[in-house]
Amino acid sequence: MSIKAFHIAYFPLLTLAFACGKASAMSFEVVMMRGEPAIRATGEIVAGDAERLHTAMMSSSKHSLGYYTLVLDSLGGNVAAAFEIATVMDTARVNAYVAPGGRCVSACAAIVFIAGREHIAAPGGLLGFHGCYNAVSKRINYNCNEAISNHAFRHGTSYGAVMAFIERVPYDQVVWIDNKQADCWAINKYDVSPKPSEYEQCAVEAMRAAMRPIQK
């Protein structure tokens, strides 16, 4: 069974969404950012969004350097639909961003954002993580969390870093990650943008501190 089929067959009722006000279906709008076209994706992630994203990925919406810019602002949604969006992103060179003032939460952060070849939460943008849960029982689904963490690994992001943010966080709680924290734990991934000089430095320092012998 393919990865995509596994997601659809086993995760139809699983949700990664943060309940905060009224949500709407995801829309994809081509906008101009710094003189270049970008696709702004907003709203709840639902079935059919992958096709809508594919439709928005035209030559006129492509950056002059040959990639698509996907700017995310979403509270999350259906897990299978998010994986389908990621599959569309894998067929082209798509970079994902959270702009200043934007929020990318749950399935948006753990699946769609991570699928970007480059994915960066800019200063002032926030990523929100919590456990993958059954929409009916509200219980965390650990197999789903495992699939999400493996998805991160396949897209060049630490399995352990993503799992740490979703493993035991209930559906009604969110771990918020800002730009500096996303750099620290390598949740941000750089490709066309220059990597910050202190990228991963705080994580390295934390590991060194944890390995120091206890002073008696």
- pTM for this one? 0.86
Q: How many Cα atoms are found within 13 Å in the side-chain-facing hemisphere of 129? A: 24
Question: What is the chain's length?
Answer: 216
Q: What is the residue extent of each domain of the chain?
A: 3-211
pLDDT in tens, the chain (216 residues): 233 333 434 455 555 654 444 456 799 999 999 999 999 999 999 999 999 999 999 999 999 999 999 999 999 999 999 999 999 999 999 999 999 999 999 999 999 999 999 999 999 999 999 888 887 888 888 989 999 999 999 999 999 999 999 988 887 889 999 999 999 999 999 999 999 988 888 777 766 765 656 555
Q: Which CATH superfamily is domain 3-211 in?
A: 2-enoyl-CoA Hydratase; Chain A, domain 1 (3.90.226.10)
SS (H, E, C) the chain: CCHHHHHHHHCCCEEEECCCCCCCECEEEEEEECCEEEEEEECEECCCHHHHHHHHCCHHHECCCCCEEEEEEECEEEHHHHHHHHHHHHCCCEEEEECCCCEEECHHHHHHHHHCCCEEECCCCEEEECCCEECCCCCECHHHHHHHHHHHHHCCCCHHHHHHHHCCCCCCCCEEECHHHHHHCCCCECCCCCCCCCCCHHHHHHHHHHHCCCCC
Dist CA 82 CA 107 (whole Å): 6
